[in-house]
A and B are shown apart, each in its own frame.
Chain A
Amino acid sequence: MVLFVLLEIIALSWIASTHAYPQGRITSIGMKMSSSWTETLGRMMYLKDLKTTNVNLLRENARLRTAHLNSQKTGLIDTLNVTLNQEVWKSIPAEIIRYSSDFKNNILVANRGRASGIMPGMGMLDHGNIAGLVTEVTEHESLVLPIIHLNTQWSVRLGNDGAIGRMVWSGQGTEYATLKDIPLTELIIPGDPIVTTGFQGTFPSGLEVGKVEEVLVTQADKFQSVTVKLGANFKHIHYVEFLTNARSGIIDSLITLAPE
């Protein structure tokens, strides 16, 4: 086979060198192949560069975050006030220093505590997605129950004006949770956003929780369940932020005044 190809190449080269038309055709094919190869190579180089750029950006991001945290530690910047859903919320950045995701009842420990203004009941965000709730604090650390904890429940909404449901974690993987108590009449399409209701006072309403992955309907039940792909990435969680609203205390005190 090799000999055959070799002899044919010799013959075709001979033909190309003695006949004008094949010569032109071979040159044209060669140029096309060459330009196609150059283009492919260029695209590959671009993708390789893109990867390097991405890595560099991630490193720079990490550096900036660390610098930001260090500047906070030195007292230059303490907290940041952000406006979420027309409410002013105080955002306190932190770093996760202890983490378990291999158990049914996972926990997170952040490196900011009472001294930084962290209080039990504050919500925690991972890249803008809700991730957990502060339950205990020390002077410089805080314990967080993440979404991926079997004993936590979250009040969420389907889209901005959809049905309200209760989101729990079923213990199946860190990427998914289950949204329950959604009426059968509710039309749900995979990819629909799941957002916070704001009813718990932990988070403002409309913060992203995740997206609808799958809708589970059982004939025996009057409600449907939804598998939610969580926005928070617990496999890569590192830098987080805690949210608190100055008016939460006032609102909570109002609730306690309600007649039994």
Chain B
Amino acid sequence: MNAMIRAIGLLALTWFLQVMVFRFGIFSNGWLIICFHIYGLILLPLDFPKASYLIIGAATGAFLDVVILTGGLHMAAGTFAGFMIPRWSELITPRDGFIKGHSINVNDDGWGRFIGLSILITLSYMFVLFAVEGFKWSLIPSAFAKALCSSVLNVILFSIAQGLFGQKPKTKGPKVSAYPWS
């Protein structure tokens, strides 16, 4: 339960930051855009029911659309990302599986798994966002290229956030030093 509340809180925070700050993060004629709320989707616990990712993804996108007036673009992208999250997380699941309520983090899963999952989820989101925005079959390759560029930028951002605010390694042993003079 705690993990769930923590994850929803984090999602709300990333969503808020997206609305307040990162919504202006549009560079290179729209080839690079920041969608920081995807970080909140990435940090959702990996043992949620599949349908809940769909609903959370769709709701996050829909709220964003209402606030920043993007008319359903983020909802379509969020729904697709929510649909893909369980499939992508299956790809990075270790042989013994994750513990209950586990969210992806660098400390437990390493940079490889974190970046891998982040790039897959972000790419799914960004691809649908750009594809639906273009709304033309001929623009699909360009949508994929844009999605790839933006995904790289966003994953760099998520990695910085993870490095700064992510779970820290627990200190081992007693806190009282055997060598008080050191």
Contacts of A17 in B (CB 8 A): 71-72
Q: A21 near B: Cβ within 8 Å?
A: yes
Asked if A8 and B76 sit within 8 Å, CB to CB, the answer is yes
Contact of B71 (CB < 8 Å), options: A8, A10, A18? A18
Q: Complex formed: what's the CA distance from A10 to B54 in Å?
A: 13
Asked if A14 and B51 sit within 8 Å, CB to CB, the answer is no
Asked if B65 and A14 sit within 8 Å, CB to CB, the answer is yes
Asked if B75 and A11 sit within 8 Å, CB to CB, the answer is yes
Q: B58 near A: Cβ within 8 Å?
A: yes
With known contacts A12-B76, A15-B71, A19-B71, A4–B54 Cβ distance under 8 A: yes
With known contacts A4-B83, A21-B135, A12–B72 Cβ distance under 8 A: yes
Query: Closest approach, in angstroms, between the C-beta of B139 and any C-beta of chain A?
Result: 11
Q: Complex formed: what's the CA distance from A25 to B137 in Å?
A: 11
Contacts of B73 in A (CB 8 A): 11, 15
B43-65 Cβ-contact flags toward A at 8 Å (1 or 0): 00000000100110010011001
Query: Quick one: closest B residue to A8, CB to CB?
Result: B79
Query: Closest approach, in angstroms, between the C-beta of A22 and any C-beta of chain B?
Result: 4
Q: Complex formed: what's the CA distance from A4 to B51 in Å?
A: 8
With known contacts A14-B65, A15-B132, A25-B135, A7–B72 Cβ distance under 8 A: no
Q: B136 near A: Cβ within 8 Å?
A: yes
The A/B interface has a contact count, at CB < 8 Å, of: 52
Asked if A18 and B72 sit within 8 Å, CB to CB, the answer is yes
Q: B80 near A: Cβ within 8 Å?
A: yes
Asked if B79 and A14 sit within 8 Å, CB to CB, the answer is no
Q: Complex formed: what's the CA distance from A7 to B54 in Å?
A: 8
Contacts of B58 in A (CB 8 A): 7, 10-11
Q: A220 near B: Cβ within 8 Å?
A: no
Asked if B135 and A4 sit within 8 Å, CB to CB, the answer is no
Contacts of A22 in B (CB 8 A): 132, 135
Contacts of A14 in B (CB 8 A): 65, 71-72, 75
With known contacts A11-B76, A21-B135, A22-B135, A3–B54 Cβ distance under 8 A: yes
B76-90 Cβ-contact flags toward A at 8 Å (1 or 0): 100110010000000
Query: Closest approach, in angstroms, between the C-beta of B163 and any C-beta of chain A?
Result: 33
Contact of A11 (CB < 8 Å), options: B51, B55, B79, B136? B79
Asked if A11 and B61 sit within 8 Å, CB to CB, the answer is yes
Contacts of B62 in A (CB 8 A): 11
Query: Closest approach, in angstroms, between the C-beta of A169 and any C-beta of chain B?
Result: 61
Q: Complex formed: what's the CA distance from A13 to B80 in Å?
A: 15
Contacts of B76 in A (CB 8 A): 8, 11-12, 15
Q: Complex formed: what's the CA distance from A17 to B132 in Å?
A: 13
With known contacts A12-B72, A18-B72, A19-B71, A7–B79 Cβ distance under 8 A: yes
Q: Complex formed: what's the CA distance from A15 to B79 in Å?
A: 14
Q: Complex formed: what's the CA distance from A130 to B89 in Å?
A: 76
Contacts of A18 in B (CB 8 A): 71-72
Contacts of B65 in A (CB 8 A): 14
- In this complex, the member of A12, A14, A17, A18 whose beta carbon has the largest number of chain B beta carbons within 10 angstroms is A14
Query: Closest approach, in angstroms, between the C-beta of A101 and any C-beta of chain B?
Result: 59
Binding site for B on A (CB under 8 A): 3-4, 7-8, 10-15, 17-19, 21-22, 25
- A sample of 6 more A-B contacts (CB under 8 A), given A11-B76, A17-B72, A19-B135, is A12-B76, A14-B71, A15-B72, A15-B135, A17-B71, A25-B136
A-B contact pairs, 24 of them (CB 8 A): A3-B54, A7-B58, A7-B79, A8-B76, A11-B58, A11-B62, A11-B72, A11-B73, A11-B76, A11-B132, A12-B76, A13-B72, A14-B65, A14-B71, A14-B72, A14-B75, A15-B71, A15-B132, A17-B71, A17-B72, A18-B71, A22-B132, A22-B135, A25-B136
